[in-house]
Amino acid sequence: MNMREWSTPGRARPVRYSIQTSCALPRCTPVGRFKILRAETCINCGRCVKQCIYDVHRRKTDDIRLMDEPLHHLCKNCYRCIQECPTQSLSKIINPEYRRLGDEYWTPEIISSTWFQAETGKIPVLGAGYRGPFSGPGFDSMWTDMSEIVRPTRDGIHGREYIHTGIDIGSKPDHLEFDERGHLTTAMPANVQLPIPVLFGPMSSRIYGKNVMEAVCLAAHTLGTFYVFDPADWTSSLDPYRSLGVPRVDGDLEKIRPFIEGATIVEIPYSSHWLQVAEEIKAMRSGVIMSVALPFQPDADRVVETLVGGGVDVVHLIANDYGRAPGIPESPSLKDTLRWIHLHLVGKGIRDRVTLLVSGGIAAAEHVPKAIISGADGVIVTRPLLIALECVACRECRLPEECPRQVSDIDPQWGAVRMVNLMAAWRNQLLEILGAMGLREVSRLRGETGRALYFDQLEEEVFQEMAP
């Protein structure tokens, strides 16, 4: 993490948050969307090398008179090499291997884009532009307002105007009370600020290997964000990163007392005896920020209201990898469920008393601001971090040795750099969206549904008069 500073004579020096990236080359050859075919009519003139700015084409190292196999994954679909080839020997097809990546939600586009961002820390581009559908299920039916994009000062990436991407974790009082002398008498609840609205989810070393877990801890420490972990996965090599760990505790609390006593945030799974467990944890660790992990369910709004009434500071809403309630494939999408819970808490006048974090279904950079618009304060990501480590989302994660990319064998330092790069690219895209909306703080975006357009609502408004 690079903390860029500036000062004014006679004033304290504020610290400005930024993320320093560095190139982390892939271990495996990436699977590109396009495949360049070179016909036998090629005369090895090398014009394609000069015309391609993405270094797709190259000569053989052992014989520079001949052209080598193109680096297909670098192709941005600009067609420049095909148009400039004097013998029309080049053509392009969609890579069959690319089509087999992921599934209908974790699409090949999302996977390849994540690989690129993890390698470079940059926002991905495509030479021929976007030609896909402009609407789909879940977050794809939601478009963000970009009405302020013409204002050049709203530019958080290039530094002409600072845009704050930090969020507060914890609860806030409904109101403040002061005594006759103006001294604050309200007991302030525990609260901590993160520089980005993204936390890292649990990465079991029993499934993904200890190197992956160490990479997650190191990346979170570099970024200054929290990560959730299972104390059963902890090893002494992770002790330098314990300060930002959120232990997810269950069972015998005495066995994991050291993790509780050293934690800023502690998370417990929702159960019928959650209140008793929360009280025991608070007795062990005064001032702890209490979080409850709650899977999406039909009565989630009322359950969250009960949790807030019981003094819970953070509710971690858990969806499956497809942004739906676990075990209920036809449940409402993540964006709809979040809006429903958020508006329920607003109606009860208790929204600011809890931090809502959501995990599952957060697959791309755009999902972060869309989740916040829908009512979340921040997100917790897990699978995007795995994809940053070159995971192909085949979902054969039962044992480390079954992974086709051998993710468990990564170098933790390399893995941490890839995760940091991914978050840098995601944050830059968040800055672009906030700047285009004219907002200087990501917290201002929470629940601002007026900053979004919804396809189903627009379709109803436009076509309702045409209905029979």
Residue 41 binned pLDDT confidence (cut-offs 50, 70, 90): very high
Per-residue confidence (pLDDT) for residue 257, from 0 to 100: 92
Q: Domain of 58?
A: 31-100
**pLDDT tens digit string along 43-75?**
999 999 999 999 999 999 999 999 999 999 889
Residues 244 and 349 in one domain: yes
> Is 150's pLDDT higher than 80?
no
The residues near 290 (Cβ < 8 Å, ≥ 6 apart) are: 265, 266, 268, 278, 281, 282, 311, 312, 313, 314
Collapsing DSSP states into helix, strand and coil, what is residue 267? strand
Residues 282 and 378 in one domain: yes
- Spatial distance between the Cα atoms of 22 and 119, rounded to a whole number of angstroms: 8
Residues 73 and 200 in one domain: no
The residue out of 71, 100, 129 marking a domain boundary is 100
- Spatial distance between the Cα atoms of 404 and 304, rounded to a whole number of angstroms: 40
> Is 373's pLDDT higher than 70?
yes
Residue 2 binned pLDDT confidence (cut-offs 50, 70, 90): very low
- Spatial distance between the Cα atoms of 211 and 391, rounded to a whole number of angstroms: 14
Closest CA to 336 of 169, 199, 103, 141: 141
Residues 91 and 174 in one domain: no
Is 467 among the domain residues?
no
Is 444 among the domain residues?
yes
- Spatial distance between the Cα atoms of 395 and 456, rounded to a whole number of angstroms: 32
- Spatial distance between the Cα atoms of 441 and 439, rounded to a whole number of angstroms: 6
**pLDDT tens digit string along 395-444?**
777 666 677 888 889 999 999 999 999 999 999 999 989 888 888 899 99
Residues 58 and 201 in one domain: no
> Is 123's pLDDT higher than 60?
yes
Cβ–Cβ < 8 Å for 103, 74: no
Is 9 among the domain residues?
no
Q: How many residues in total does the chain contain? A: 468
Per-residue confidence (pLDDT) for residue 1, from 0 to 100: 43
What's the CATH number where 317 sits?
3.20.20.70
Per-residue confidence (pLDDT) for residue 465, from 0 to 100: 66
Closest CA to 21 of 441, 465, 417: 417
Per-residue confidence (pLDDT) for residue 171, from 0 to 100: 87
Closest CA to 311 of 281, 344, 343: 281
Least confident of 66-80, 140-154, 351-365: 140-154
> Is 268's pLDDT higher than 60?
yes
Residues 192 and 283 in one domain: yes
Is 123 among the domain residues?
no
- Spatial distance between the Cα atoms of 371 and 357, rounded to a whole number of angstroms: 9
Average pLDDT, the chain: 88
What's the CATH number where 81 sits?
3.30.70.20
The residue out of 70, 100, 130 marking a domain boundary is 100
Residues 95 and 171 in one domain: no
Paired tokens of 53: 């700015």
Per-residue confidence (pLDDT) for residue 145, from 0 to 100: 83
In the chain, the number of structural domains is 2
The residue out of 100, 124, 145 marking a domain boundary is 100
Per-residue confidence (pLDDT) for residue 162, from 0 to 100: 82
- Spatial distance between the Cα atoms of 312 and 11, rounded to a whole number of angstroms: 39
Residues 279 and 372 in one domain: yes
Is 349 among the domain residues?
yes
The CB density around residue 94, as the number of other CB atoms within 10 Å, is 12
Q: What angle do CA 53, 59, 60 make, to 5 degrees?
A: 145
Residues 95 and 181 in one domain: no
Count CA within 13 A, CB hemisphere, residue 266.
27
- Spatial distance between the Cα atoms of 311 and 287, rounded to a whole number of angstroms: 12
| Mean pLDDT, range 115-122, rounded to an integer | 96
Residues 189 and 72 in one domain: no
Collapsing DSSP states into helix, strand and coil, what is residue 365? coil
Is 112 among the domain residues?
no
Is 150 among the domain residues?
no
Is 192 among the domain residues?
yes
Q: Where are the alpha helices (DSSP H) in 7-52?
A: 47-51
Residue 183 binned pLDDT confidence (cut-offs 50, 70, 90): confident
Residues 238 and 385 in one domain: yes
% of residues, the chain, pLDDT over 70: 90
> Is 128's pLDDT higher than 60?
no
**pLDDT tens digit string along 314-361?**
999 999 999 999 988 888 899 999 999 999 999 999 999 999 999 999
Residues 87 and 228 in one domain: no
